[in-house]
A and B are shown apart, each in its own frame.
Chain A
Amino acid sequence: MEIPIKVTVNGEVYEHRVEPRMLLVTFLREVLGLTGTHVGCDTSSCGACTILMDGKAVKSCTLLAVQADGAELLTMEGLARNGELHPIQEGFWREHGLQCGFCTPGMIMAAYQLLEENASPDEKEIRRALEGNYCRCTGYHNIVKSVQYAAKKINR
């Protein structure tokens, strides 16, 4: 039996009926067409599906869409405002924090929560905060620099 849900995604309210087993990431990608959130594994490991739910970074592959009923979600598509990049997005661009780009949305979302909680993280704190996000391209070197860039810019 399909269940009605109402979610706010990137400031817009959506109401849909979904199959209970539909994962939140599937809802975002297939129902709303927001394909900026990715699926990289089936074990809640890689973090490519990371979004913000009510301000907290969560793995949208390990949530049912029905569990997000009433929640406010922020995905990669909603981070830039009026065409202006968020400092984390800018940091990833300036510091070459991405290569293939597949892990990037999840990585940026995880970094977003980190900087909300800790405005000036050191390298160790950044690496620890990103432990739920795999990247196979960058060796994380420039991802760390990207987050540092963003922290500096936000604090300015």
Chain B
Amino acid sequence: MYPAPFEYHRARSVDEALSLLSQYGEAAKLIAGGHSLLPMMKLRLATPAHVIDIRTIQGLQYIEDRGDYIAIGAGTPHAMIEQSELLRAKMPLLSQAAAVIGDPQIRNMGTIGGSLAHADPAADYPAAVLAAEAQLVATGESGERVIPVEEFFVDLFQTDLDEREILTEIRVPAISENTRCAYRKFPHPASRFAVVGCAAVVTMENNRCSDVRIAFTGVASTAFRDTGVEDALKAQPLTSQSIEKAAALAAENDELEIMEDHFATEDYRRHLAKVFARRTLNQIASAF
């Protein structure tokens, strides 16, 4: 229940946080909402010697319309994303995912940046940002670096972020009028993390799918885009038959490391991925 001792540093700016990061290197961890790091520290699974608080940085909590995309400050808590009118209008997928993270208290404290940087393979945001084709802005001492989301999730709890970088902004393209999206999740009954979470974004032109993006979380060692399902739907009409056929291909990529635990075997997870692909796509179809 009590973390091991550490030194605490309150960063007032991204620059200050970066210089602390470079000073303490591997011995330091960033804390924002604390809902990924602190639970690990309490169980002493993480024992950083230095904790750098970036929640104290002014101006990391925002959701802004930048025309082509919506910019979300990395320090924005889930509750703000859930309730954002702007996101609900222009990129509801993020709000939908945020709404089913943890519980209300966790949504008040936990931040999108913290969740993404932690890269828990069963967290909700990873599927949403993948399907949204987000861009992630990492700030380092040499400036900003924009990481396309498909390069971000490297492995279990591993991202493309350098140890001396801070995730500062998430950019999600706004959806067009003929685009619909949905996030559906089968939660673990205890942790409420996703056993399977499916995010989908579908754009229709002339009654055919012109763009289909499907991503899963909870299923494999990292969240992933499922091109098998996507390809099967492209240029197809969005009918229950086409959806059924495409969804059956979910989580079939041989390269995936499907997770397995007492609650869900590999087979069951793969099966749930198909069910949730279908249900998510059906929800989208009914929204057109």
Contact = CB atoms under 8 A, between A and B. Distances in A.
A and B: direct contact (Cβ < 8 Å)?
Answer: yes
Interface of A: 1, 3, 19-21, 23, 26, 39, 42-45, 47, 50, 56-59, 61-64, 66-67, 69, 110, 113-114, 129, 131-133
Contact of B104 (A42, A45, A63, A110): A110
B208 interface: no
Contacts of A61: 1, 42
Contacts of B79: 56
Contacts of A113: 104, 108
Contacts of A62: 34-35, 38-39, 42, 106, 109
Interface in B248-283: none
The winner among B6, B42, B191 for most chain A CB atoms within 10 A is B42
B288 interface: no
26 contacts: A19-B5, A20-B5, A20-B6, A20-B7, A20-B8, A21-B4, A21-B5, A21-B41, A23-B42, A39-B1, A42-B42, A42-B43, A47-B105, A56-B108, A58-B109, A59-B106, A62-B38, A62-B39, A63-B34, A67-B31, A67-B53, A67-B55, A69-B10, A132-B102, A132-B105, A133-B103
B192 interface: yes
A44 B35 contact: yes
Interface string B150-194: 000000000000000000000000000000000000000011100
Interface of B: 1-8, 10, 31, 34-35, 38-39, 41-43, 51, 53, 55, 79, 102-106, 108-109, 190-192
Given A20-B8, A110-B104, 8 more contacts: A20-B51, A21-B41, A57-B108, A59-B105, A63-B34, A66-B53, A131-B103, A132-B103
Contacts of A44: 35, 38-39, 106
B72 to A, nearest CB: 19
Nearest to A132: B103
Contacts of B106: 44, 59, 62, 132
A80 to B, nearest CB: 22
B103 A67 contact: no
Contacts of B4: 21
A132 B41 CA distance: 20
A77 to B, nearest CB: 19
Nearest to B53: A67
Contact of B38 (A39, A63, A69): A63
Contacts of B109: 56, 58-59, 62-63
B103 A47 contact: yes
A44 B105 CA distance: 9
Contacts of A133: 103
B116 to A, nearest CB: 18
Contacts of B41: 21
A110 B31 CA distance: 24
Nearest to A50: B105
A42 B41 CA distance: 10
A3 B106 CA distance: 25
A59 to B, nearest CB: 5
Contacts of A67: 31, 34, 53, 55
